[in-house]
Amino acid sequence: MKATSGFITFLLLAISTGSVTAGSIRCQGELLLDDQTAPLTETQVREKCGQPVAQDFRVLTYRTEDNVTRVLHFNDAGELETITEEGMQ
């Protein structure tokens, strides 16, 4: 019982700190998540989101309508791994 309550406490802390939430970006009204069951490819992201404001090896950077920079990271297979928010500009 004690182990179960410790695990529940861990889960609650993880959720409250935001470490379990997915990164996201909205493109053409569609919400793209970095934890989708079938990962999006870089080609699919470009089709949905258009040309990025910057790009580097396996990294695309977009500026959203609310002026927040989102950085999309892709793995060696070209699949979306993470979406991070770089802050308000």
What pTM does this model have? 0.72
pLDDT score of 66 more than 80: yes
Q: What is the pLDDT of residue 20?
A: 42
Helix, strand counts (H, E) of the chain: 2, 6
Domain ranges in the chain are 22-88
pLDDT per residue as tens digits for the range 23-58: 999 999 999 999 999 999 999 999 999 999 999 999
State how far the alpha carbon of 11 is from the alpha carbons of 2, 60, 74, 84, in Å.
Answer: 14, 31, 27, 22
Q: What percent of the chain has pLDDT over 70?
A: 73
